[in-house]
Structure 1
Amino acid sequence: MSTSQQTDFRLGTEELEKFERDGFIGPIKIYEPEEMEERWNSIRRLLPDRSRAIYPDDALGAVTNISNYDRHLDVDLLSEHIMNQRIVDRVASILGPDVLCWRTEFFPKYPGDEGTDWHQAATFANASKKPQIMWPSKDGQPAFGGTITVWTAFTDSTLENGCLQLMPGTHRHMNYDESQPMAYDPNAINSREKEGVKRGFFGYDYRQLQKDPNWKPDESQAFPLVMKKGECVIFWSTLMHASLPHTGSGKDYRMGFAARYVPTQVHVYPGTETVAEYGGGIPLDNYGAVVVSGEDTYGINRIAKESRTGYAFTPRRF
């Protein structure tokens, strides 16, 4: 069956075994390069219009990179993307039939930009200091969490413009304690080298979360993930991952778009009304997760419902 005729994109047994072993699978073609370029050009023209964006520009008095969160809730092409069957079928084959998309983010990288620190995320409390996702406990103990991240290359992602790096098989053990504080310093951006590579974490230093301060990531395990525009990689957020610095010049830039998925029984933003990180913050008054597969029978999360004028939001039930 050709790709154009294919209607079921669930991972097969061998692919699931590979994903279980390595913590990722990809690159996977979602769009033809020409289609991706056309879609991205259209999205780019829509992004400056924030009249329907759910987070105000002056959130908590600061305009920060978190203002690019969740634009799938006001840009239709991004809403289509997070529900693309080529993505959702594969994610559901990992997480089960009932799936939420709880966040999306843009990850641009321009000439001279630093690479991103090696990191893992289980609760996403690393910068906000509060868990942003919480899996159900098992036997009274907190479950080992994380999210499935689908990182799509909206432009070509190359060695020169700062492609992702992954460490296969590192997703089962956390080397970092997300409950520890990190100090935010915007002056640190593009100013530090680590093991000879210019790296940072959007104004933070992810090394501050290391459980063992003397431990260093074993970069011999890592490989760069070069992707063509329209391709994606699917990985556990607990997988050790980073990115290279942009060493190119001219107008070349890298644009990645990350969509994050969890089963519907995972509690999103538990006890949280505002996300504060990266020097600013966003109120969650208009936030809602999107059911992309199956149904939500738990009622623990605020859910976004599509309407002719965008999304409407249901209250959380506790």
Structure 2
Amino acid sequence: MKKFSLTAEELESFRKNGYAGPFDLYEEAEIIEKYKAIRPKLFDRSHAAYDLDNKSVISGYDRHLDINELSEHISRREIVDRLEGILGPDIICWRSEMFPKYPGDEGTDWHQADTFAHASGKKQIVWPTNTDFGGAITVWTALTEASEENGCLRFIPGTHEEMFYDESKGMKYAPEEVNKLDKDGVKRGFFGYDYRNLQKDPSFKPDESKAVSIEMRAGQFIIFWSTLMHSSLPNTTQNRTRLGYASRYVPASVSVYPDVSSFEEYGSEISLDRFGVVVVSGNDPSKHNRVVRENLRGYAFAS
């Protein structure tokens, strides 16, 4: 067992509930200093993988490919040791995303992700053909405090083994329309999409009575299956931004962006010319993904 491996009890709980943690990663003073270093680099796209401006919803995608502090973060042993007990010895990081929630922002609607085809209907990850169910492991790190007041994550435990949505339907990107929705007295959306359009059963409604709020101090992280039903609360504070950084992992046997040279989300089509997966544990014996060994500034990834 490695230093930060999940215990037998933690692994059993993860398999039952679909999530584990929160776990400590950075001390509060440490994450404050790290965030101070990261924040100005988020606005510098001179080496970013995607040719976007900072107004795009996707501007926070895959910044581990050009920001050294995030390149180091995705391979931290506190994270990877625990992932090996879930995904096996050969693991790749295929995506990362910044999730800011500013004062007054609405919550995120309940959703699941299996192939991440929800925005365009095209699969972004494909597990081997002998695997019935896929998804990815998300490691969500709190760069600031995440509380119920400023919009922490919520999970419905045990919902990770059944998909209630059909991602192949795709969704229309309509931020002006969706952001006006007010469901059950709580303003929610899905970054300009209405996730209910993917429901297999139009009358389906997640059982919020079983939901748990995942509050975290700055510097902690939570591990969960992307197929777990999850959402976030609105930020009802006046001056407390909530910022999370999600890094996503799959076994190296999974194909990432198979047979495509670009992907479409949030009204933008993004070229994958500068994209590559990062091996964070073991190696990539399948050889079907483009692997990058250093980021776009020349920083070497640890593995």
Q: For the superposition of Structure 1 and Structure 2, which TM-score range results when normalised by the shorter chain?
A: over 0.9
2:126 corresponds in structure 1 to: 134
| Structure 1 position 71 matched with structure 2 position 63 | yes
The 3 A distance-change label for structure 1 pair 36 and 162 is: same
* Matching residue of 2:284: 296
Is it true that 1:160 corresponds to 2:155 in the alignment? no
Runs of 4+ in 1 over 6 A off after TM superposition: none
Residue identity (%) = 57
Deviates more, 1:97-106 or 1:176-185: 176-185
Relative to structure 1, the CA distance from residue 218 to residue 307 in structure 2 (aligned partners, 3 Å threshold; closer, same or farther) is: closer
2:94 corresponds to 1:102: yes
Shift of 1:13: 1.1
What is the DSSP-based 3-state SS (H/G/I as helix, E as strand, rest coil) of the residue aligned with 1:192?
coil
Q: Is the 8 A contact 1:66 1:282 kept in 2?
A: no
Q: Over aligned residue pairs, what C-alpha RMSD do you find?
A: 1.8
Do the aligned partners of 2:91 and 2:283 also contact (CA within 8 Å) in 1? Answer: yes
Contact 1:113–1:190 under 8 Å retained in 2: no
What are structure 1's unaligned runs of at least 5 residues? 1-5, 313-318
Structure 1: distance between partners of 2:227 and 2:169: 17
Q: CA deviation at 1:247?
A: 0.7
Matched residue, 1:87: 79
Deviation (angstroms), 1:126: 0.1
Match of residue 172, structure 1, among 143, 150, 161: 161
Counterparts of 1:98 and 1:183, CA distance in 2: 36
Cα deviation per residue 1:237-294 (whole Å; 9 max; x = unaligned)?
00000000111113x1000000000000000001111111111121000100000000
The yes-or-no answer on 1:12 pairing with 2:4 is no
- 2:104 is aligned with 1:112: yes
> Aligned partners of 1:67, 1:308: CA distance in 2, in Å?
16
Aligned CA distance change for structure 1 residues 16 and 159 (closer, same or farther; 3 Å):
same
- 1:259 aligned partner: 247
Aligned to 1:3: none
Give the SS at the match of 1:306: coil
Provide Cα deviations, 1:15-61, integer angstroms capped at 9, x if missing partner: 11111001000111111111111101110022211111111126xxx
Corresponding residue for residue 30 of structure 1? 25
Q: Does 1:42 align with 2:37?
A: yes
Q: Report the equivalent of 2:196.
A: 207
1:175 & 1:50 partners in 2: Cα distance?
A: 37
Partner of 2:294: 306
Alignment-mate amino acid for residue 73 of structure 1: L
Displacement after TM superposition at 1:308 (Å): 9.2
Structure 1 distance, partners of 2:140, 2:191, is 18
Partner of 2:186: 197
What is aligned with 1:232? 221
Cα shift at 1:67: 2.2
Give the alignment's TM-score, normalised by structure 2: 0.95
Q: Which amino acid is 2:27 matched to?
A: E
SS of the residue corresponding to residue 118 of structure 1 reads: strand
| Residue aligned with 1:183, SS | coil
1:73–1:311 Cα contact (<8 Å) kept: no
Structure 2: runs of 5 or more not aligned: none
- TM-score, scaled relative to structure 1: 0.91
Q: Which whole-Å CA distance do the structure 2 matches of 1:306 and 1:181 have between them?
A: 33
Matches within 5 A, 1:266-277: 266-277=254-265
